[in-house]
Chains A and B, each alone.
Chain A
Amino acid sequence: MTKFIIRRFLSLIPTMFVIITLSFFLIRFAPGGPFSSEKKLPEAVLQNILKKYHMDESMPMQYLRYFNDVLHGDFGPSYKYKESTVNELIAQSFPNSIVLGSVALALAVFAGIGVGITSALRQNRWQDYLAMSLAVIGISVPLFVIGPVLQLAFSMQLKWLPVSGWYGRKWPLTLILPALTLSFPYFAYIARLSRASILEVLRSDYVRTARAKGLKESAVVLKHVLKGALLPVVSYLGPAFSGIITGSIVVESVFVVPGVGRIFVQSALNRDYTLIMGEVIVYSLILVVMNFAVDIVYGFLDPRISYK
């Protein structure tokens, strides 16, 4: 087991290497550059800028230089936000996104699994229909509709929660509405996923055996059904966690959250090479580490998986 974890962990290194290399070159092959969109600069000034950022060197040279910096934990200066480095920008925005994303995902997991169990056990009854209608709404209604509706209801009408904002004296109340909004599609997906797999396990032979042994229905569900039925949900959590952190740009805009989503999109539009790279690296790191964690958890949940 320990051996497997170490080997699996080491395999993250080449993955990250490939991601860094590919995105480094891909961005540079995209048309335009960080300084091309502005009004025409005098040739000498442009040369000076390029020289300052070492962009006058050959591509492989730039790559090696960048790679070396990354290995030292330095993502370089931002080309657009001239007063801050990429490290600073990420350090300011990522924690907010992680807090928002974690709370939203936790909400989605608990509510989703709970609703999934309820609907599976009450299949084709009103509880099931209600829950699955809610799930369809969650999957199909865009966040920029759900967000303002929640703002209207809870902030404007009921005046329970602040409309928007993040830091300040209202914290952590400001967290509730964006987290709720962000969790909705994930909640809906998890509810449907867990309902489907619980229904499948409920019909399995080993659940029939458990019932034939005289176990209470609650014991059958808690002990015999859930462990197997929640495996698909666990494997969904890896991509969901990384997706919920960066995929929150709409929610960040609606609720004015200083998160990573907005910076990510802006940096791509600006061709802010170093900032894009920094975001991509941190994002992929979260993704591969989450998948790694899911693999490990899977091994504990499913005894049929042996690590050799």
Chain B
Amino acid sequence: MTDEVILQVKNLRTYFHVDEGVVKAVDGLSFDLHRGETLGIVGESGSGKSVTNLSIINMIPSPPGKIAGGEVLFMGKDMLKMSTNDIRKIRGNKISMIFQDPMTSLNPFLRISTQMIETITLHQGLDEKAAKAKAIEMLKLAGIPSPEKRIDQYPHQFSGGMRQRVMIAMSLSCDPEILIADEPTSALDVTIQAQILDLMRELTSRLGTAVILITHSLGVVAGMCDNLCVMYAGRIAERGATDKIFADPKHPYTQGLIKSVPRLDKASGDRLFSIRGQPPNVIDLPDCCPFYPRCDRTMDICKRKYPTTTDLGSGRFVNCWLYNSEEK
């Protein structure tokens, strides 16, 4: 990880216009990603994690979705203002993605070779033969046994874990600056999860790829990420270095999340802690702190106004009135 910022998301807002109203799936999100950094985005289902990453490469299905504002600066250029042609040259090339469900993310009608080669020839300008050699090399790196043979097979001939390895090989085949992994292990069973995470960590650190890892698992984040964004209802509750957040969580939501992880070293007969209540419905959310109905330390202002971001120093930011000195 270096100090060079390669991706800067500023005040990103993605709204979905549905019959019931406006769903503010992502509302005023900001973070920086440095070269070679691994950034985790955690949050519950529906907190806007996946919408964030689809917004970054401008792939929000529209209608009903619309990026209502903000900037996504990749190497200083705003991706939201780029032409479709220009952004296509970045997708799969400079910024690539892997998705949650490896069983459905590969085209069942096309050979692995076809699917890998088309990416490589498109972005790297290699001919078929060189692209195939490159694809085989990537499969080998991703731990697929006898890749020369396997590459000509179809996705249904691979297991779930193997398919995710193929996805990783494919996404890294153009040597991207950023890999966005959207819950890459959620659909896999536990033993395979660890293998896939190890593989991602090893390959991305070898290639110097920055990673945005989207997950709802704090365990995965703790093991993988340099920095962390905790999302709640489309906004960032807290962000900073992973070890600092785990050691001293500031936002009541983060505190609740970390308290609700079962721990072997402190096992006792007590019930596991859980945050009371449900995540809010994000349709036409009023301008309050979305967490206040579930928070133990609610103040008056929490119900009236969304907290401004407080800079706690050394790269830590929190959106909570508890830490806001200009509290009105």
Contacts and interface: CB of A to CB of B under 8 A. Distances in A.
Interface in A172-221: 204-216, 219
Given A227-B109, A303-B109, A213 B101 contact: no
Contacts of A219: 118
Contact of B109 (A208, A213, A301): A301
Contacts of B89: 214
Interface stretch (B9-17, B90-98, B215-223, B234-242): B90-98
A211 B118 CA distance: 12
Contacts of A301: 109
Contacts of B207: none
A308 to B, nearest CB: 15
B156 interface: yes
Nearest to A123: B63
Q: Summarize A's interface: helix, strand, loop or mixed.
A: helix
Given A205-B105, A302-B109, A214 B92 contact: yes
B106 interface: yes
A212 B108 contact: no
Nearest to A303: B154
Interface in B95-114: 96-97, 99, 101, 104-111
A130 to B, nearest CB: 20
A223 B89 CA distance: 18
A7 interface: no
A223 B111 CA distance: 12
B174 to A, nearest CB: 9
B88 interface: yes
B119 A304 contact: no
Interface string A213-254: 111100100011001100000000000000000000000000
Contact of B59 (A211, A216, A303, A304): A211
B35 interface: no
B171 to A, nearest CB: 8
B299 to A, nearest CB: 42
B123 interface: yes
B297 to A, nearest CB: 40
Contacts of A204: 104
Contacts of B111: 303
Contacts of B118: 213, 215, 219, 223
A209 B154 contact: no
A208 B100 CA distance: 12
A113 to B, nearest CB: 17
A227 B90 CA distance: 27
Contacts of A303: 108-109, 111, 154, 156
B110 A214 contact: no
A212 B57 contact: yes
Given A211-B59, A212-B91, A214-B119, A224 B107 contact: yes
Interface in B48-95: 57, 59, 88-93
B87 to A, nearest CB: 8
Contacts of A207: 107
Contact of B107 (A206, A212, A216): A206
B99 A205 contact: yes
A214 B154 contact: no
Contact of A304 (B91, B123, B154): B154
Interface of A: 204-216, 219, 223-224, 227-228, 301-304
7 residue pairs, one from A and one from B, having the closest CB atoms? A213-B92, A214-B92, A214-B91, A205-B104, A206-B107, A303-B154, A227-B109
19 contacts: A205-B99, A205-B101, A205-B104, A206-B105, A208-B99, A209-B106, A209-B167, A212-B57, A212-B59, A212-B97, A213-B96, A213-B122, A215-B92, A215-B118, A223-B118, A224-B110, A228-B109, A301-B109, A302-B108
